[in-house]
Structure 1
């Protein structure tokens, strides 16, 4: 197909998607009846009425709107830039995993490494208001799984999503961000630097037309793509009413595996994970649990993960003395047989290295590194 032919073909896809009254279900009915979109717009009124309502048939036969024409031109300009692609359901590069779900997007806007959309993948999702331990778990699980060759899929939100992308970028599996705005809009703004890193070393994908602003209804809907691109979904932290549970439900409906990391029975952000486990999600304590369940052994060319720097000497003894329950400074000093000043210095280093967090009230808690 020549560039001119492709541009004409895409124009029909975008026109179909932008036609008033044509949602995803109606678009699929029309495509099933007429094949490619250009056949829809050359069909007779009578033929269209056999598939859609009078109102929709008239909208399909109406002249092309100036707004849609202008959007087509902007999109073609965007797609001509290096690293940008637009895929339709008819493209050979359209990810086959999405063809298996009930509601595949008609158009995908892709920025970055398009091949990642067809790679073995795991979705990692969770709370925007995550704990330090949750962020650590998401990042370390994602890094290990990416080093094993799995592409990490998430939604580029704050908290667990951002940590998952950062971990994924450190492995050869890399990461894919499925966003709920146009592909030329970065949201949230705090993830701007991360978005640039993903566009460079991973992939950003959206089903929404360029310029689509932040709309709350679009984010739950994009979750079906997050789960649809993946072999399974790992929920790291989630409250009982978390949007991550929507992704997990969609994954189950799509026949994907659902995994959950358990947490404290006292933490509100463990309630969603515990609910999923009660409903049949697989409890995982390490990245290896996920790899074994998925029977994924990783590509031969993927280098092993670099060992995380270990606390040594006195730092190691301090962590051992802490255990995994919250502890106050005086008790820890007594266990370590250190004066408070020396212990303060040691704890500052451990906190900066990501081994310890300070809880409200001054309590200390060790962060696990699995």
Structure 2
């Protein structure tokens, strides 16, 4: 028997969303130890009630073995709370899932991930906002996490794919089910570039009670959650509340004061959520993470062939009062090109993006790296100049 089987057994013993499987395994020394423990040891943990003990005893490993065989046949991966590549941020939440079933590859340990959630009956404004923000995040190397549902989720995943990045879908059902069925091709593309994942066994169908439970995973995987469009009673507000409880950032896209579909997001803004008026509003919150995820070599060197890179200004000896720029060894072509657009007069990110023919999100990410390296300085209003 393997530890994976014991983890699946332990997860199946409790209701999805329960904090007890991982808490028990940590208290006793692993899922296998929990399986082999007697009632006295389980009771002594202080975690199990009498009802919990009755749940644990009848569970053999046969069902876990069947699930593993099913996953092998379908090409799904299984990750447990004990695995080294279990997402670090997810490990920190109150009730981390003991088991994750995965189609694709989970985010790399150093990848910054942002959740995007919102209404299923999305307006044209909400759809456009979701796609534009997700595309900008993907351009900057940020993972976009959502739930593959209709509406905002769908447009967030599509935007990330258009941006050439990675996106991750957390389901409220098992991996065997595509819900809604109209997203079958989107499911395939998300799994190919990022991952589709669930804590529910592969054959579990969609249930209205599953979705609030899975929302904690969407928020838990991410440093921040963006609510794109939401009415007053939208389920996405649950995700925002869970993100706040986890100590994560919450953003909201401002909406029309005349639209019922913006009542939830506008209320979040009144309560202190950070406004997401553009991708720059999101990226500027995570300069250190962006410095880690930006590649050392340009991902799209063809955007700036050598002839298209503006020449760096030569130093002017007759004006010693003007400090020369610091050495720029180690910068890639894109970073050099953005740096060459800067001078002593602060320029807005959007202006620099137009001049560089790059998405604002990518330009802001490059400027963040230049600032960290002491080659650029940020000014109020998302403006940048030379040091």
TM-score normalised by length of structure 1:
0.74
Q: Structure 2 unaligned runs (5+)?
A: 304-387
Within 5 Å, give how 1:190-339 maps onto structure 2: 190-295=182-287, 296=290, 299-300=294-295, 301-303=298-300
Local SS of the residue matching 2:119: coil
Q: Identify the residue that residue 79 of structure 1 maps to in structure 2.
A: 72
Q: Identify the residue that residue 180 of structure 2 maps to in structure 1.
A: 188
Structure 1 residues 228 and 63, CA, compared in 2 at 3 Å: closer, same or farther?
closer
Local SS of the residue matching 2:4: helix
Matched, 1:56 2:52: yes
How far apart are residue 117 of structure 1 and its match?
A: 7.1
How far apart are residue 256 of structure 1 and its match?
A: 1.2
The Cα RMSD (Å) is 2.3
Q: Identify the residue that residue 15 of structure 1 maps to in structure 2.
A: 9
Local SS of the residue matching 2:62: helix
User: 1:109, 1:207 within 8 Å by CA — same for their partners in 2?
Assistant: yes
Q: Identify the residue that residue 178 of structure 1 maps to in structure 2.
A: 170
Q: Structure 1 unaligned runs (5+)?
A: 307-370
2:20 & 2:151 partners in 1: Cα distance?
36
Q: Identify the residue that residue 30 of structure 1 maps to in structure 2.
A: 24
**After superposition, what is the alpha-carbon deviation per residue over 1:83-139, rounded to whole angstroms, capped at 9, x for unaligned?**
x21000100110111011111100001111223576211111111111112101111
TM-score normalised by length of structure 2:
0.71
Local SS of the residue matching 2:176: coil
How far apart are residue 71 of structure 1 and its match?
A: 4.8
1:191 & 1:110 partners in 2: Cα distance?
17
How far apart are residue 209 of structure 1 and its match?
A: 1.1
Matched, 1:135 2:135: no
**After superposition, what is the alpha-carbon deviation per residue over 1:146-183, rounded to whole angstroms, capped at 9, x for unaligned?**
00110100011111110000111123431000111011
2:196 & 2:16 partners in 1: Cα distance?
26
Local SS of the residue matching 1:124: strand
1:45 & 1:259 partners in 2: Cα distance?
46
Structure 1 residues 189 and 81, CA, compared in 2 at 3 Å: closer, same or farther?
closer
User: 1:75, 1:210 within 8 Å by CA — same for their partners in 2?
Assistant: no
